[in-house]
Amino acid sequence: MIEVPAPSDAFDAAMSDGAVLKVRRHGNPDGLRFYVSHGNGFAVDAYFPFWSLLCDRFDVVVFDMRNHGRNSPAGFDGHNYYRMSRDIGEVVEAAEARLGTGPKVGVFHSMSSRAAMKHAVEVGWIWDALILFDPPNVPPKDHALYPAMRTFELRLVEFAANRQEHFDDPSELANYYAESRAHQSWTEGAHDLMARSVLREDEEGNGWSLTCPPEYEASIYLAALTMDLWPGADEYGGPVKMIGADPGMEKGPPTGRANQALAEEGGYAYEAIPGTGHMLQLERPRDCAEAVLSFLAECGLRG
């Protein structure tokens, strides 16, 4: 069983709308600082097989997006990309107020990567480098890949809206992940870790419930179709790398092809991890960490 170690520091970051996000610090406090978060319906603790590989050299700050993981419920009114993009900037502000300022790298996946993109191009550039793992951006409607991404997001809306919310034990959800074709290639122990990371035990002791309610998860998938988020790399204000799912994998997600297209059209530094789907950090964590380190070297950033 994979256990996430106790952080060296933990604190609450108050958002400007009243929500509170729990922030944890791991790794080397003298190293270059990373900020790490996760995808829709998941939790950052479950990405430990990936971000643990950075802890020897780097100062790793992890946090769950609102209404996910270790955070207390924050309500539906702020559960949207506009608010989540602002959350990222406010978490960084809170962390720097507590831990000090210095060079920083954002490392985000899926939903959080899209929120980080939105923050960077609409609010402002705050990073020394930004790394985006398989952001499921939907291209413009006249793009050849729009129909595939639209179908992908609508299928996820239907899945999320109808998913099981309550479980007698986390092992039930772990078994579901392990049996799902999309998640079968996760590294050993990741299915159990994910289940424990996305569930909260009921206060009455009547089993476990998803920390992110299904209707909240579904709303984020649906929002992808209205975001109009297809920026070029020159819109960010600093170095950005996109690390995507394998665009040539048979029966792979269309996010791999969409990211390849956005990278080519938008001039991004880009790398695809061979043989991976959308959850590439849990499928090939070491390859993903090496892709991060190679980009840092290109940017002149070291631990």
- Give the CATH number for residue 269: 3.40.50.1820
In a domain, 149, yes or no: no
pLDDT (average), residues 78-82: 97
In a domain, 33, yes or no: yes
In a domain, 270, yes or no: yes
Q: What confidence category does residue 36 fall into, taking pLDDT thresholds of 50, 70 and 90?
A: very high
In a domain, 50, yes or no: yes
pLDDT at 40 over 80: yes
In a domain, 207, yes or no: no
Q: What confidence category does residue 191 fall into, taking pLDDT thresholds of 50, 70 and 90?
A: very high
Q: What is the pLDDT of residue 203?
A: 80
The count of domains in the chain is: 1
Q: What is the pLDDT of residue 102?
A: 95
In a domain, 81, yes or no: yes
In a domain, 48, yes or no: yes
Average pLDDT, the chain: 96
User: Above pLDDT 70, what percent of the chain?
Assistant: 100
pLDDT at 303 over 90: no
In a domain, 214, yes or no: no
What residues contact residue 244 under an 8 Å CB cut-off, 6+ apart? 133, 134, 255, 256, 259, 260, 263, 270, 271, 272, 273, 280
pLDDT (average), residues 52-73: 98
- The residue segments making up the domain with residue 50 are 9-140+230-299
How do residues 211-256 score in pLDDT, each as one tens digit?
A: 999 999 999 999 999 999 999 999 999 999 999 999 999 888 999 9
